[in-house]
Amino acid sequence: MTMLRHVAIAVACGALLLLLSYRLDLYRDLQFAEVAAEVGAVAGLTVLIGISGQISIGHGAFMAIGSYAAALLLLHQHWNIGYVIVASGLVAAAAGGIMGIAAARLRGPYLAGATLMLAVALPSLADKYQSVFGGDQGLSVSITPPAALGATFPLQRWFVWLSCAATLVLLVLLANLVRSRIGRSWRAVRDDEIAASLAGLNVARLQILAFVVSAACAGVSGTLYAMVTTIVTPDAFTLTLSIGLLTAAVLGGLGSLLGAVWGAAILVLAPPFLQDFATSHGFSSAVSSNVPIAAYGVVLIVVMLVFPAGIQGGLRRLLGPAAPVAAAPFSALRRHAPAREEKEEGTV
Amino acid sequence: MQEFIEFTLGGLASGIIYSAIALSLVLIWRGTRVLNYAQGGMAMFTTYVALTVINDTGGNYWLGFLAALAAGFALGAVLERGVVRPTVGKPPLNSVIVTIGILIFIEGLAGIIFYNGQSASFPPAYSIVSLKVGSIALGVSWNDVFTAAAVLAAAVLLAALFRYTTVGLRLRATAFNASVSRLLGVRVGRVLTLGWALAGLIGALAGVLVTPTTFLNPNSMDAIFVLGFTAAVIGGLDSPVGAIVGGLVLGVVLSYVGGYLSADLIELAGLAALVLVLMFRPSGLFAPTAVRRV
């Protein structure tokens, strides 16, 4: 039943997006495609953090793996784009599995440190193996709309269709997974690892699985991103991107897939909007390129202090009955277990 | 042999900077269980303050040096009291996001106030020409010696402060158990603010000391922060000694990899070192116990 409902919602959204893609001009179409491409990575991250209770500050690394895999497959194997998207997702999932095995032993800031270093280290591989990955120049990614759509069909609109279709499939799969036995197990592990393992759950395996799923989403998202930007370079996968994904997940509301959509939209659309705003109010270009950065920092701090459940949490509070459930990771049991917290403080 | 000496000493010279950043992270972590992702950004900002003071006073390095330390101290205190305090007792992710928000804000602010599109160069305190014993180049300069001496002096002063003063006792008591300290009459809030201020000061010191080798722009401390964080994780976030040792070990390892293998591999070597250490010691080399926070 849930499956059917999710598919129905996705089909309805798909139809709306299809109509929208005809209404927008080509520049907006490109931005739209970029948002859709980023949604996958943010959704994967929001599931990893909000549902399974692990953290990753280096999710851009998995996007990089997906994009490079896709670029190489398109360049050398000339696969159909559909197969490429699936294959690069699988490659990223494998990388996520390796990271997950390491991650299952690490907690809190130690896991954060390891993922952070991964995001910093991975792009340097592209410089080291220039013959394969093209170094700073990167690899070009070019796809064309299928001939059946006619010769005049704009490329940007094809990008929108592909990104939206792939992302909707991802979201349906994630929504089902989160509501399945696995999703419930993840929540159990998130809230109390010891209780979960006493209940017979294999904590390490579940945590690794969460990394695999989340990395696969980032890989697909990286593929779409490479397709929309038509090039893959190491510069695209800086720490700024990884931090941007994390902040998008938080702003949207952790653990919420709809929140991931809001978060990705803000991540892509807010900086150019703020920069235009600053430029039109007479700031010099050096200043106005930094205004969005400073404003973004302020927004993050304010949202976290005032609205810790993010946009989706806020919407839920405004619209629905009181049910702010999914958006409070790590917390629930912590607060009710002061005795253990005290003991741990003692070991410091 | 010549190369080996050069790489070892050069590695120690850069490692001591990672140690300083790691030490500032450990100071805050022990006191408040917050990992300060803004530490690098704060150090960048205070270094710009130093540069401004140096330029305005006609090249007086030491005034700029002191201004950076004072700015770091003040910045740490203001941030703790202003925006970090409200996240204490909330889920850990809240403070992660708030300090990342501070980082982004500070980098944007520095871009608006100081940055004109070009990286600035920052003067060293002493000569940066490599020292020689006979005909053997050592790979370190007087400035590197000064850097190491300054960081170690700061670490020793900090250790003395913690060990021999009433303020230090309060700092240790608060890190050990905040609730009991409060019951015993320690003004925990002030102590935490002081901890952040001291960390800000150490971070500012690291910024002023490292920037002559890196140039200065709003993102110039990012890479150094990541390596400092890595050093702190390798050493164990609860151990100040671990922070110093972790920084030096990381510096030497990266210097060997960069020197003997390839400069492109430095970041990967950092990742490899981190993963290797954490595989065997998931809470760092100097973790006090094997107890895991659940």
Report helix, strand or coil for A232. Answer: strand
Which H or E run includes A231? strand A231-232
What angle, rounded to 10 degrees, do the helices at A181-191 and A203-229 form?
110
pLDDT score, position B262:
83
Q: In the predicted model, what is the mean pLDDT of residues B145-152?
A: 92
Selected residue with higher pLDDT from A52 and B139? A52
Q: What is the pLDDT of residue B157?
A: 92
Q: What integer pLDDT is reported at residue B47 of this predicted model?
A: 94
pLDDT score for B63 = 92
Cβ-based contacts of A286 with chain B (< 8 Å): 111, 115-117
Name the nearest CA neighbour of A55 among B104, B100, B284.
Answer: B100
What are the beta bridge partners of residue B141?
Answer: B130
Q: Tell me the residues of chain A between 178 and 237 that have a Cβ less than 8 Å away from chain B.
A: 192-194
pLDDT of residue A173: 93
Instruction: Give the residue from A244, A247, A203, A249 showing the smallest Cα distance to A45.
Output: A249
Q: What rounded mean pLDDT belongs to chain A?
A: 84
When pLDDT is averaged across residues B23-40 and rounded to a whole number, the result is 90
| Residue A8: per-residue pLDDT | 85
Q: Is the CB of A300 less than 8 angstroms away from the CB of B107?
A: no
Widest pairwise Cα distance in chain A: 71
Other Cβ atoms closer than 10 A to A272: 11
- pTM (two decimals): 0.85
Which pLDDT score is estimated for B193? 92
Strand positions, DSSP E, A121-175: 139-140
Which pLDDT does position A324 carry in this prediction?
A: 47
pLDDT digits (tens, 9 = 90+) for A262-287: 999 988 888 888 778 877 877 777 77
Q: Considering only CB atoms, which chain A residues are within 8 Å of B86? A: 305
For chain B, give the percent of residues with pLDDT over 90: 43
Task: Mutate one of B119, B279, B294 to test the A interface: name it (highest A CB count within 10 A).
Answer: B294
- Other beta carbons within 10 Å of B288: 13
Residue pair A27/A157 in contact by the 8 Å Cβ criterion: no
Round to whole Å and give the CA distance between B202 and B18: 11
Fold of domain B2-280: ABC transporter involved in vitamin B12 uptake, BtuC (1.10.3470)
A21 three-class SS:
helix
- Provide CATH code, domain A2-347: 1.10.3470
Task: Indicate if the pLDDT at residue A346 is higher than 70.
Answer: no
Q: What pLDDT is attached to residue A22? A: 78
Q: What is the rounded distance in angstroms from the CA atom of residue B226 to the CA atom of residue B33?
A: 19
Q: What is the DSSP string of A94-110?
A: HHHHHHHHHHTT--HHH
Of B98, B179, B264, the CB nearest to A342: B179
B16's tokens: 């001591």
Separation CA A312–CA A253 (nearest Å): 5
pLDDT digits 0-9 by tens, B161-209: 988 999 889 888 888 888 888 898 889 889 999 999 999 999 999 999 9
Quote the tokens at residue B195.
Answer: 């901890």
B-contacting residues in A 226-285 (Cβ below 8 Å):
239, 243, 246-247, 250, 254
Q: Would you say B196 and B25 are in contact if contact means Cβ atoms under 8 Å apart?
A: no
Q: Categorize the per-residue pLDDT at A327 as very low, low, confident or very high, splitting at 50, 70 and 90.
A: very low
Pick from A49, A113, A344: CB nearest B229? A113
Alpha-carbon gap, residue A302 to A281, rounded angstroms: 24
**For the residues of A261-295, what is the DSSP string, one character each?**
HHHHHHHHHHHHHHHHHHHHTT--HHHHTTHHHHH
* Per-residue pLDDT at B87: 86
Confidence of residue A321 (pLDDT cuts 50, 70, 90): low
| A21-33 pLDDT, tens digit each | 777 787 888 888 8
pLDDT tens readout for residues B79-129:
999 999 888 778 888 888 899 999 999 999 998 888 877 888 888 888 888
- Enter the ipTM: 0.84
| 3-state helix/strand/coil string of chain B | CHHHHHHHHHHHHHHHHHHHHHHHHHHHHHHHCCCCCCHHHHHHHHHHHHHHHHHHCCCCHHHHHHHHHHHHHHHHHHHHHHHHHHHCCCCHHHHHHHHHHHHHHHHHHHHHHCCCCCCECCCCCCCCCEEEECCEEEEEEHHHHHHHHHHHHHHHHHHHHHHHCHHHHHHHHHHHCHHHHHHCCCCHHHHHHHHHHHHHHHHHHHHHHHHHHCCECCCCCHHHHHHHHHHHHHHCCCCHHHHHHHHHHHHHHHHHHHHHHCHHHHHHHHHHHHHHHHHHCCCCCCCCCCCCCC
Whether residue A340 has pLDDT greater than 70: no
